[in-house]
Amino acid sequence: MMVAGYTNQAINDVEVLDLNSPNTTCLKPANMATTLTDGVGTYIDENAMVCGGSTSTAAATTDCYTYNAQADSWSRSLTVKLNQAR
Where do the structural domains in the chain lie, given as residue ranges? 2-81
For residue 37, the 8-state DSSP code is: B
* pTM of the predicted protein model: 0.76
Digit-coded pLDDT (tens) for 11-68: 677 777 767 776 777 777 888 878 888 888 888 887 888 888 888 777 888 999 888 8
Partners of residue 36 on adjacent β-strands: 11
Do residues 50 and 12 make contact, with C-beta atoms less than 8 angstroms apart?
Answer: no
Neighbours of 58 (CB within 10 A): 8
Backbone angles phi, psi at 42, to 5 degrees: -155, 175
